[in-house]
Chain A
Amino acid sequence: MRHLLLIAMPTLILSAGMAQSATIEVTIEKMAFSPAEVEVKIGDTIEWVNKDAFVHTATVKGGWDVQLPVKKSGSVVVDKAGTLDYYCRFHPNMKGRITVAP
């Protein structure tokens, strides 16, 4: 029991420290990111949920490349302000934009 408490304590502190940042969900369905544009803050997490029967990615040219297998999700934490245009490498007509506020 004492052991459990010791483990639980740091976890609590850690999650309290992260309470400020949010997770923003973007759904992928029928070959589109929805919503296609999101506004977030530094430290926020973007989570893509792939509801399609096809493999997708959320990719920033020269930046991150999130693999999104069928019916799975993937995420990134945004760490700097600015506008990020991303697309799906397998279906380049699928596009999205993240605006990151400082």
Chain B
Amino acid sequence: MRVRLISGIAAIAALGLAGSLSLATAADKPSDPQIAHIAYTAGAIDVEAAKQAIAKSKNKDVVAFAESMLRDHEAVNKQALDLVKKLNVTPEDNATSQALSKAATAERDKLSGLEGAAFDKAYVDNEVAYHKQVNGALEGLLIPSAQNAELKSLLETGLKLFRGHQQHAEHVAAALK
């Protein structure tokens, strides 16, 4: 049962941009160590994307946005690491984390082949889609599944933060058009 659910989540996550993790409303839920791993992975992916954008983009607004992503996601992940240490929890790798990483690697490769305005547009559009996807997962699956109150609270703070990121990305995307 568990295996089927996880591969179900993974399949949805693997849909990448168009997919929405919030669809994964199966009865079986990810455990706290898995949730911690998924949340941390999702943050680390956006940190890498931000580093790539800071290195490649010449657009002031895009670079400022990427710097914001780098700063905020590093801050959240630091809090996440502090929390798992405090709770003595070892984050557990799982199919969802792996699917997220796989999709992110493909996206990063795609972006590395683009330059200038084409890169800016692709990066920002992906940031909009990615934050939408992660926010959907937080709201629909990760937050409701979290057992530990402190983990739940950190995820809720993350959701507020990432909703802000999504709006910020949408502003930048609109300005690029």
B75 touches A90 (CB 8 A): no
B165 contacts A91, C-beta separation under 8 Å: yes
Interface pair A55/B71, CB less than 8 Å apart: yes
Chain B residues with CB under 8 A of A54: 71-72, 75, 161
Q: Which of A32, A53, A92 contacts B167 (CB 8 A)?
A: A92
Query: What number of B residues sit within 8 Å (CB to CB) of A?
Result: 17
Chain A interface main SS type: loop
Asked whether A31 is an interface residue with its Cβ less than 8 Å from the other chain, the reply is yes
**A31–B168 CB distance below 8 A:** no
Given the complex, which residues of B lie within 8 Å of A55, measured CB to CB?
Answer: 71-72
In the assembly, what is the distance between CA of A36 and CA of B157, in Å? 18
A70 vs B79: C-alpha distance when bound (angstroms) = 13
B157-A30 in contact (CB<8A): yes
Q: Given A53-B79, A54-B72, check contact A90 B168 (CB 8 Å).
A: yes
Interface size for chain A: under 10, 10 to 19, 20 to 34, or 35 or more residues? 10 to 19
The 3 A-B residue pairs with the shortest CB-CB distance, nearest first, are A91-B164, A31-B160, A90-B68
Residues in B lying within 8 Å of A, measured CB to CB: 64, 68, 71-72, 75-76, 78-79, 157, 160-161, 163-165, 167-168, 171
Question: Which residues of A approach B to under 8 Å, CB–CB?
Answer: 30-32, 53-55, 70, 88-94
**12 new A-B pairs (CB below 8 Å) besides A32-B160, A91-B165?**
A31-B157, A31-B160, A53-B78, A53-B79, A55-B71, A88-B164, A89-B64, A90-B72, A91-B164, A91-B168, A93-B163, A93-B167
